[in-house]
Each structure stands twice: as structure tokens, then as C-alpha cells.
Amino acid sequence: MTVEQDVAQDERIESETQRIGRSVWNQLSHQRPTLFDRRWLDDRIMSWAMADESIKVQMFRFVDVLPMLRDHEAINRHLHEYFEDVQESLPWAARLALHVTDGNRVLGRALAVNARSNARRMAERFIAGSKPEEVLKAIRKIRDSGFAFTLDLLGEAVLSEEEADRYQQAYIDLIEQISEPINALPESAQVDANHLGSIPRVNVSLKLSALDSHFNPADPEGTTDRVLDRLRPILRTAQEYDAFVNIDMEQYEYKDLTYAIFKQVFVEEEFRDFFNAGIVCQAYLKDSADDLKQLKEWAEQRGTAITVRLVKGAYWDYEVIQAGLKNWPVPVFEQKWQSDDNFEALTVYLMQNYDVLSPAIGSHNMRSIAHAMATAETLDVPRDAFELQMLYGMGNDQAQVYANKGYRVRIYTPFGELIPGMAYLVRRLLENTSNDSFLRHTYQEDQSIEELLMSPKQAAAKAPETPEKPKLPFLNEPTVDFSKKENREAMLDALKSVREECGQEYPIIISGKIYETRQQLTSRSPSDRDLIVGRVSSATSDLAQEAIETARRTLTTWAAIDADHRAEYLELLANEMRHRRFELAAWMVYESGKPWHDADADVAEAIDFCRYYALQMREMDGSLETNLPGEENLYTYRPRGVAVVIAPWNFPLAILTGMTAAALVTGNTVVMKPAEQSPVIAAKLMEMLKAIGLPDGVVNYLPGNGEEIGPQLVSSPLVDVVAFTGSREVGLEINVKAAETGSEHLSVKKVIAEMGGKNAIIVDDDADLDEAVAGVIDSAFGYTGQKCSACSRAVVLDKVYDEFTKRLVAAVESLQVGPADDPGTQLGPVIDGEARDRINEEIESALEEGAELLFALEIPEELKKGSYVAPHVFTNVNTRSRLAQHEVFGPVLAIMKARDFGDALKIANDTDYALTGGVYSRSPANLKRARNEFFVGNLYLNRPCTAALVHRQPFGGFRMSGIGTKAGGNDYLHQFLIPINITENTMRRGFAPEE
């Protein structure tokens, strides 16, 4: 088509859009619910809630938590907690209800019953039911109204293979059970046929992520195999009973893999000719146009048309927030008119290709639907070649108008249990009560048809300018998105390249000179002890002394370099790490047994330490002056001197880099001693320090046996600061040794010690168990429990203990144990054989103490060449037992029962440690209480208790977890500096110079 023809076509579509839209509007204006209609009260509640954003949020939060509230006291308490702070915005009746039920058990019970009844009524409006007979009744009603349907089984999270199997079987049972009664209903030519002939009456929609407990885009091959094992039987059942299967789309991270699995299964011989299949396209995604084009090319090659359900998208807030938290590009359009405009462009594309991509327009927006109808008429698309799809319980009057006009309208009909149903309900209510939603306009008296039918481009011209986002003082380094093919390929290439470099030898480096020793540290891969990652020279006492003296000699020169120049070295180091990012992650995969995500996060954190400490040093560089006539006062900083950095193996790059970078940027010189288990990664850090041109002797690389050279490094009178991260026993010993002084000592040593933890996560009786189970699994078994921040105790309130424990055990059972270089591995090896034996001894000790072993995985025979420990879950654990008190540093979790939230806090606090802790709760009062009474250095509410980020979550604990410093915090550099105050008397002979 020429440009002129395109313009003319657009003008015809716009004219028809206005005509059709006004026609629909005129019919809708006579179909509002009356006082006697059941929907009237629901609509009044919705209208009231939407008038105030704070009320809307609190109401939806209450609806979300309601299924977990098992008695009227809990309901009444949560009503007061959620709405007390917004009482002034409530209607007078609601304010009165809260007031009179405060402390009154009888009235409180009545309020709770009423609240549950109202929420259940609302849920019944939007959810078709939970039992087969309820679903069939709803379907018959839908068809009696002249609509088609698609059924969606509710469920927000699948955490175990058992739950994935249950999800699969539910769809097989559904198709088998409803096909006969539904197909026996009277035929409707409008909804049971299209331009090609008859179409299935039974239509289901499912999520691929619910067919696998570990839907992992970083492992597309493994995920695809597992999903297809469960999807194929569903498709076979659909073929047998002539049912239609839609594949729903979820968060952006899953999109590419969802399309890939869909395309793969439907070119298999068994399903190549299966035309009763469809998939969703989300118009709010910036790359949705490309997705549709690729889908069209695939469908043409396949030779059989498919249906595409075009929607705006239900995860907009989630996608924007996640992108902001991860510092990733935002995948969705950030203004509503852009999504609307793209929706219309994609509608035109689908209509132009309706013979290959059968359009299913999913929207409640009057403009969007009118535009689709107008496009079809303009392009001569048969009316029965496409359909409109709307949500069950939403916009019923609007749907009826379209059906009356002869369009096929399909109702997206969710069904299932109340608990997952409430989560669905909240998401749909939030999605459809936005400021620009048609459904919101239906509750307003001043609604304007001109505004409703305004084209996206007109809306853009009238839209207020998007406020500029506030500039944050520091943005964390983005982790790698392994859902992207190019990133997976880059990681695989790095793993291959690094594997070829394994086995090399690495020397000690002091003042730029290479020292090789007869004694070596042999670094072996925890995943396969036969693989030697590298052989590293092990320092002698003489070399340790040489390193200390070198650092002392270079101190004056390095300290004299201005702070800005020192900060530049850190920024250069960060850039070098970015350049070698995948390589560094690959070294950690092999040497430390870190799975892909953990290894990459380690590199990102090392980069963050460099950039953040450079920023902090520049901010601290300006001296503080306090001047009076006749007196000048200068407050400034000097480096402490020689710093010995003793790093752990579990964060072999990040923590080593963080402590070294902090010492360097503050003007100290460094003796860098890595852990014996991870000397090769430290050698790579030394390579990068040399590559950026750091002067010789400023950092000295001193790998060696800690028992042999550690005491010498800590006790030396030439050392001024010791920065240590590691075990409690070693940390306390360092503190004692460093405190010993003699006549040869020039200073009292500063010790910075980050030690261990015995961290607990509290699961409240109103917690979202989908989130709580996943969060405890992630916290307890991420990196095989080898994080000082790891959750080793789950303190669960009695009311949810059984349900939580059952789901958690099933989730642990589904964990994939394997070598760290396998992208599908969720639980890799522990660091070495010594650690494996120590953890197994702790497990035996727990059994001897009487703890009940609830579950333990078996380690496959083919993994016996590595250092593997099966994840263990214990219950009936005595709060004073070794298992409850002693840090295990491995995949061992104790589940402990608490009577109430106060008892849970008491149990959680009952250790010598105070590092991290977590709480899963939807009670504002209990969350507030946790802030005040949970004694830990890092407290995490409704999220895992690991994965602290520089600047956002400065990390460190107290009691026996550390001395109270915060790595990655704005005061961490002070530990490496000595504050100096200089005062000058400027008065001479009775006068003082003017400023």
C-alpha cells in the first residue's frame, strides 16, 4: 500500500471506531445495575474504593489476606490494623463500625462475619466456583447468555513437582468431565463456529510455569523437557475430546521461553495439525510487535493457523518495579497511551493476517474493542473470523451488547480454590480499577464518551508530561538476565574457555615480583574433585613478613595520592570486571561451586563495592572546617596504615574485593590473603589490579595456609587494621591476637570482623504461604546454605505449621541437585570434602539430640565425585539444642513451632548471633513489632533473608555475628580511617587576618 492509501485506511478505521463506539455507549447507558441488582452494592463499594488510592490499596490488601484469617478475632484485628490509619477517608458507617468493634467481641464477630461475606460475594462474582458442579452451572449460564467461554484454573505459584502434577491432572480431569455435558448443550452458530467451520465448545487456558516447579529461563532445555512431559498428556486429552487449549502469558522473564515451548510442541508430528491452540500476546511489551511477526512466520511454516489472544497485559506494575529493582531496561511501555496505541497497531496486524493468526481481542476498553470492530469492517475480515474476550464478572453489560451485535464473545472464566482465587481477584481488581480503565469510568457520573473514544495519539497530546524520575545517588550493577539467549551463550562460552585454562599455576605477588614456592595450594572443583582448577604457591613465614614490610614501605607514597585519584583506580577496576564478567563468574562456578545466578551476583557485588566506595571517598574527601575570628579548625581523615585482608571462600570475589577496595580508596596499603579454597579467583583479582596500573606493593597477593601465616599477619606490629570475614571461631581468635600489644607496636589494631549467623525466618499465621515457602527455600538452600545470611531456622506459627511444612518438604523434594556449571542446578556442592564431613557430623548430632528428620534428598550416584550434601529438613527441634544454636553452614533447615508471634520472636532471638532475620506476615502490627523486637543486623520483611545489595542493604551484624560494621554502607570507610582535627591560632599581636 502507498502512504496515501495507508492514511486513507487509517481515517476510515477511525471514523468507524467513533461510530461503533458511540453506538455501544448509547446502548450501555440504559443497562446500569439497579438497587435491586446484586451487583449494585459491589459497584458502590468499588466506586467508593476507587475514589481514594489509600483506601483502594488497603481494601485489596485485606481481600488478599482474608483467606488466611481463620477466626473472627483475626479478621477484626486485621480490619483495624489496615484501616485505622485511613479512618478519616472512610464513610461514616465504616468509621463507626471500626470504633464500636474495638474491644467488643460480640460486635467484632459481627463485623468479621460481614467482611468475610462481602469478600466472598465479590469473589463469587469474579470466580466461577471451585467444584465441578459450580463450574458447569457457571458455564451453562455463560452459554445461555450467548457467550463462549475459556476456563482458567487458579493458582499463583507451583512450588513442587507434586503441585505441578496436580495442576496437570486438574486440566485432564476438567476436559474429561465437562466435555460430554457441554457438548450436549444446544448448538449456537454464533459462538460454536467461525469462518472455517465448527470450533470446540470446551476451551481451557493454562500457564506453562505451573507445569514445572522450577520454570527456569536460564535452563531452557531442561525446563522445556519437564514442561512438555506434562503438557503433552493435556494436549492428547484435548485432541481426544475436541477441546481448545490456550497458553497464557505471564511475567516478561518467562515470555521467550513460553513462546519457544509453544512453538516446539506444535511442530511435533503428533500435534502439527492440531489447530485448536492459541497463545497470548501482551501489547504493553515493547517487543510484542516482533513477537507477533515471528509467530506469523512460524505459523506459516507449520501450515496450520493458531489463535492469538491480544491483551494489554496484567503485570505492568510488577514489570516496572522489577526492572527498577534490578536496574534492567523496562520491558513495558511506561505511558498508557503507548500501550493503547500498540494494541491498535497489533490489532491491525492480526486482522491483516487473520487466516494465519486468528484474532482474539481481549479487552474491556471500549475504544480498543470499537477499533478492532472497525478494523475488521475496513479490511473485510469476516465477523466470525475473530472474537472478543472479556473477564468473568467484569463488563457483563458491555459483553452483552457486542453479542447482540452478532460478535462471538468469549468469557475468560477462572475457577478454583479460594486462597489462590483471592490472589487472582486482587490482581484483576487492581488491573481494572486504574485511573484510565473503562470499568472505572462506568462508576463515575461525569463520564465523557469523547474521552472514552479518544485515540491514543490524541491522548498522548493531552497527557501530562511524564515527571522526570528522581536521580538516585547510586544504582547497583544489574545482574545478568539469563532468560536472554545471548547471555546464556556468553556464559556457556566462558565456561568452556575457563575449563580449558584450569590446572595452571599461580604465584605469590609482592611488590610486583613473582614468588613461587615448593608448597602449593591445590584448588579443586567442588562439583568434581578430579578437576584441578589451579595450583597456587603457598606463602611461607618469610614471604608473609616480606609482604607486610612491602606494604609498610609503599604506604607513605600511596597515602599521599589524592582521594579522587585513588577512587579512579576503583572505577577502573570495576570496568575491568565488567569486561571480564562472564569469565569471572565461570571461575567461581568451577572453583567455588556457585551456580550461574550466584556467581554472576558475586561479580555484580564486587563491581558495586568498587563504584560505591569510590563515590563515598569523594564525598568524604572535603574537610570539615569550623572557623572563628582568631581560630581555624580543620577536621579531616588519614589512613590507618597497613591493612591485612582475610577473605572467605563463599563470596570469593565480592567480599575480597570489597574489603580490599575499602582499604585502598582510604589510602591504606594491603596484604591480601584469600581463603585456601578459592585462591585462583583471588589471583584473577590481582591480575586485574595489575592491569589497571595500580602501583606495585600497594596490594600484595599472599595466598597461603591460614593456620601457618594467619597469626603472623594478625600479630605483626607493622599491621594497623585487620579486615576479616569468616567463621566465629577464627574471628574471635583474630580479635584476641590483634589486641595483644608490645613495645614494638606503633598502634592499637583496628579489627573489622564479619562472622557467622544462625538466622531465622518467622512465618506468621496470616503469611502468604506461596511467598513464604519460596522465600525460606531460597534463603535456606541458595548456594547450598553456604551464606552467613542463610536461613537455618524457620519459626512457624502453630496455625499454619502443618500446611507450611507439607508444602516446604514437597518443594525441597523437587530441588535439582547437580554440578554448578549446569544452568538447571538449584543445589550444588558444598565447598570441599572437609565441609561435607563437618555438615554430616552436624546432621548426625541433630539426630542424636532427638530432632526429627522430616526429609532428606538422596545424592545421585553420578555426583559422588563432588562434595555434595543432601538438603535436610528437621522438625521437633529443641530451642537450646546444638542444631538450634550452632551455625552449620550447609543445606540444613530446622523448622520450629511457635504459639504466637511473641513466642516466635523469642525463639528467633534466642541465639548468640544477630546477623539476618526475616518475617513473612501481612499484619502491619506484627511487622512493626518485628522492626522493634527482632534483634538482627539485617531484617527482611516478606522477602528472603539473603542477597543484600551494596548501598540498599548494607550488610553486617552484631553480638557474635560481628563487630557492628556495615559492608556497603555509607559509614564503612570510616573503619579504615583515623579522624584528625587540626586547630590553628591565627591571631598575631592582637589582630586576626580577615577570611
791 is catalytic: no
Q: Of 163, 754, 842, 887, which one is the catalytic site residue?
A: 754
∠ CA(373), CA(374), CA(375), 5° rounding?
90
- For residue 55, the surrounding DSSP H or E stretch is helix 53-65
State residue 758 phi and psi, 5-degree precision: -130, 75
SS (H, E, C) 616-667: HHHHHHCCEEEEECCEEEEEEEEECCEEEEECCCCCCCHHHHHHHHHHHHCC
687 is catalytic: no
Q: Of 16, 163, 546, 788, which one is the catalytic site residue?
A: 788
In DSSP terms, 412 is beta-bridged to 150, 391
**CA pair distance 734, 757, nearest whole angstrom:** 18
Q: Looking at residue 967, what DSSP letter applies?
A: B
∠ CA(341), CA(347), CA(350), 5° rounding?
145
CA distances from 348 to 6, 375, 752, 758 (A): 12, 6, 64, 59
* Look-up of cell digits 549467623: 757
Strand spans (E) along 72-192: 148-153
**CA pair distance 697, 672, nearest whole angstrom:** 11
Q: Is there a contact between 450 and 363 (Cβ–Cβ < 8 Å)?
A: no
**CA pair distance 425, 416, nearest whole angstrom:** 12
**CA pair distance 255, 481, nearest whole angstrom:** 13
Strand spans (E) along 494-630: 504-506, 508-510, 513-515, 520-525, 528-537, 624-628
* Look-up of cell digits 457457571: 138
Q: Is there a contact between 140 and 117 (Cβ–Cβ < 8 Å)?
A: no
- For residue 257, the surrounding DSSP H or E stretch is helix 252-265
Q: Looking at residue 270, what DSSP letter applies?
A: T
**CA pair distance 392, 125, nearest whole angstrom:** 8
**CA pair distance 107, 118, nearest whole angstrom:** 16
Q: Please name the residues in contact with 421: beta carbons below 8 A apart, sequence gap of 6 or more.
A: 123, 127, 130, 154, 414
**CA pair distance 676, 916, nearest whole angstrom:** 26
State the CB neighbour count (10 A cutoff) for residue 921: 24
Q: Is there a contact between 949 and 923 (Cβ–Cβ < 8 Å)?
A: no
**CA pair distance 220, 469, nearest whole angstrom:** 35
HSE value, Cβ hemisphere, 13 Å, CA-based, for 917:
29
* Chain centre to alpha carbon of residue 35: 45
State the CB neighbour count (10 A cutoff) for residue 387: 23
- The set of cell numbers assigned to 283 is 501489547
- Residues designated as active site: 754, 788
